[in-house]
Amino acid sequence: MKNITILGCGLSGMAFIKKARELNTDAKFTIIDKNQYSLDKWGFFNDFSVKNRVDLGAFAKSIKAEFICDTVERVNAKRKKIYFKDKECRDYETLIVASGVKPKKMAVKGEHREGFFYLAGFDPFILRDRIKILSDCVVYVSTLLGVKLVLHLRSQKKELNVVAQSLDFLSDRKELFLNYCSREGIGIYAGSTIEEAIGEAVIRAVKLNPLKVLSAQALFLDSGFIANNDFFETDEESAATPPKILNDVYFLGDAANRPIADEFFFANEAENSLTGAVALAENIFSDKPIDFTPKKEYNPQLIIDELFSRFNVNAGIV
């Protein structure tokens, strides 16, 4: 009987454990996640809805797995131990790391204030409720996810200012977006960065560099993403070693995707997560060789055009 611990139960973690339980009814599974609910956070930005959330406690019970709701602070791969924020450390036999992404941090003052959101690691329930009540906000854009957020917020009649060091990733669609912002009364501050979120407990304004202060009830930072897999202790089997050769540790989904740091469009993330999860489960429980299907080529302009068409960004353009 195998003893499998899954760290993170998002898209890839959920897909792995479903396939693994299908292949082996006797294995012991332990699910670890800092959240009580699982939600597709990439899909969340389509409608700000949490209706498709999965209660992890109930899910674990339904497949006869143990669920631990806590934050993992570090993992010692040599001793095979997991250390938690609140609970006592646990041993593991085989560890599946499906812990997703975390934001590329920016040097911004005031990130402790209410209304400050990185577009990774956020609580979707808090973000959804904040969006409902805010009237004006600032969005820092560096990927298509930030553009999508701008379009959704504007469709809900929110007053917006967009800050970006560069919008060149939009290529020749950049002018379409700039024209849309002008038509919709959205302020654009290109070549700028966020310096500070100003306020007491709650954000009231955002300070830019070059110097400009904008009124805002919320600040959304689309600063890019990095794989959330750096919690391994520094010893001979540490994060300094490429994760793929750690003994009895497997990385899935965004946690395995180091190139995600250079991604602008996230076109194949969900598909790759599902494919990789099923392939790994079949390898562990059926000895089937892992054959990760290479990423399909995609056309960034088509992805942008599909998004722009949904929000009528092309309106009025001849």
Q: 228-250 pLDDT, tens per residue?
A: 888 888 654 444 444 445 778 99
Q: Are residues 37 and 183 in the same domain?
A: no
Residue 270 counted as domain residue: yes
The token pair at 79 is 């001793």
Structural domain range at position 132: 116-223+300-310
Q: Are residues 206 and 137 in the same domain?
A: yes
Residue 55 counted as domain residue: yes
Q: Are residues 135 and 148 in the same domain?
A: yes
Q: Are residues 146 and 46 in the same domain?
A: no
Residue 49 counted as domain residue: yes
Residue 317 counted as domain residue: no
Q: Are residues 166 and 304 in the same domain?
A: yes
The token pair at 101 is 């992404």
Q: Is it the case that residue 61 has pLDDT exceeding 80?
A: yes
Contact 139, 163 (CB under 8 A): yes
Residue 257 counted as domain residue: yes
Q: Are residues 143 and 204 in the same domain?
A: yes
The structural domain count of the chain equals: 2
| Chain centre to alpha carbon of residue 179 | 29
Contact 138, 212 (CB under 8 A): no
Q: Is it the case that residue 291 has pLDDT exceeding 70?
A: no
Q: Are residues 157 and 245 in the same domain?
A: no
CATH number for 129 = 3.50.50.60
Q: Where residue 75 falls among pLDDT bands split at 50, 70, 90?
A: very high
For residue 265, how many C-alpha atoms fall within 13 Å in the half-sphere facing its CB?
17
pLDDT tens for each residue of 121-152: 788 888 888 888 999 999 999 999 999 999 99
Q: Are residues 234 and 153 in the same domain?
A: no
Q: Is it the case that residue 284 has pLDDT exceeding 60?
A: yes
Q: Are residues 249 and 172 in the same domain?
A: no
Q: Are residues 169 and 304 in the same domain?
A: yes
Q: Are residues 129 and 208 in the same domain?
A: yes
Q: Are residues 304 and 204 in the same domain?
A: yes
Integer Cα distance of 222 and 220 in angstroms:
6
Specify the pLDDT at position 45.
Answer: 77
Element holding 198 (H helix, E strand): strand 193-199
- Backbone dihedral angles phi then psi of residue 77, each to the nearest 5 degrees: -70, -25
Residue 110 counted as domain residue: no
Q: Where residue 315 falls among pLDDT bands split at 50, 70, 90?
A: low
What is the pTM for the complete model shown? 0.88
Residue 201 counted as domain residue: yes
Residue 282 counted as domain residue: yes
